[in-house]
Amino acid sequence: MAYTPQYYPGSTSAGVNRRKHMAGDLEKLRDISDMDIVAVMGHRTPGADYPSTHPPLAEMGEPDCPVRQLVEPTPGAAAGDRIRYSQFTDSMYNSPSIPYWRTYWAAINCRGVDPGTLSGRQIIEARERDIDNYTKTIMDSEMYCPALSCMRGCTVHGHSLRLEENGLMFDMLARCEMGDDGNVYYNKDQVGVPLDQKVNAGKPMSEDEAAKRTTIFRYDNVAFGGSIGDRKFDEGLIALHHVWERRSKWGFRPE
């Protein structure tokens, strides 16, 4: 019997966008080159070979194991790549994605990853050639806006601050700048090391497009409901309250 997963409830645009992200049904909006992705990540020189932590699996002569027979290794694991990461922060002003949804996307759609969500930032760790591909998928897609999202491996602050006059999210390390052509350029890698050549990340979303594509519920765009507006609570909030209530009652063991 065919089964279609239900990733997230609700009929609002934010609910629809959350389902799209979790399902991996992403619209491609730009095409940033592999070399530019590697440059912004900053783990190795673009074009350099992948450093390894162990020989390729095919050369290691590992003992027979039914799990190894069932699970095909990722390209990075098969080659023995080291573990590397990419980390993003997203503005609260209608950025297309939010940290938890990047984690949900990675956990559901990517193999061999360790995603983590912190306050205002989201990190994905994986074998190096695998994280290169996963990061490119993010930056090419509707999960990313050059003005409202930024790859920041450290000093991520800025997601909750007002946007700058040119619409960019504040960055204390000034990794990005707005070009005269209207495109956003990375002039430093994700940890703030200056790049030899700027990386063109494309044009920012307009305010209307960002409001349409965002996964954020906001009182001034798509509200959860209740006292804001005259519509019912979003089904997502009802489900969240249901889980919270059950966990709380079970934890406190009311008699």
Per-residue pLDDT tens over the stretch 191-207: 999 999 999 999 999 99
Q: Given this model, what pLDDT does residue 4 score? A: 81
Residue 156 is assigned to a structural domain of this protein: yes
Residue 27 is assigned to a structural domain of this protein: yes
3-state secondary structure of 199: strand
Residue 8 is assigned to a structural domain of this protein: no
If you search the block for the tokens 């409202």, which residue do you land on?
148
Q: Domain residues for 36? A: 13-219
Look at strands 176-178 and 194-202 and give their pairing.
unpaired
CA distance 57 to 46: 25
Number of domains in the chain: 2
**One domain for residues 39 and 52:** yes
**One domain for residues 113 and 238:** no
Record the tokens describing residue 14, joined without a space: 């934010």
Q: Which of 101, 50, 99 is nearest to 77 (CA)?
A: 50
Q: Are 129 and 53 in contact, with CB atoms under 8 Å apart?
A: no
**One domain for residues 248 and 199:** no
Residue 54 is assigned to a structural domain of this protein: yes
**One domain for residues 198 and 237:** no
**What does DSSP assign to residue 54?**
S
**One domain for residues 88 and 212:** yes
**One domain for residues 206 and 92:** yes
CA distance readout (Å), 124 to 5, 127, 203: 23, 10, 25
Decide: residue 19, CB within 10 A, 0-12 exposed, 13-18 middle, 19+ buried: middle
In 24-176, which ranges are continuous DSSP H helix?
Answer: 34-41, 57-60, 66-70, 75-79, 99-109, 128-140
Residue 5 is assigned to a structural domain of this protein: no
**One domain for residues 235 and 110:** no
Record the tokens describing residue 49, joined without a space: 């070979």
**One domain for residues 247 and 197:** no
What percentage of the chain carries pLDDT values higher than 90? Answer: 72
Half-sphere exposure of 203 (CA within 13 A, CB side): 8
Q: Does residue 43 register a pLDDT over 60?
A: yes
**One domain for residues 228 and 212:** no
**One domain for residues 45 and 65:** yes
Residues 62-73 have a mean pLDDT of 90
3-state secondary structure of 23: helix
Q: Does residue 46 register a pLDDT over 80?
A: yes
3-state secondary structure of 83: strand
Distance of CA 39 to the CA centre of its chain: 18
Q: Does residue 111 register a pLDDT over 90?
A: yes
Q: Given this model, what pLDDT does residue 239 score? A: 79
Residue 17 is assigned to a structural domain of this protein: yes
Residue 2 is assigned to a structural domain of this protein: no
Record the tokens describing residue 177, joined without a space: 């700048």
For residue 122, the domain's CATH number is 3.90.320.20
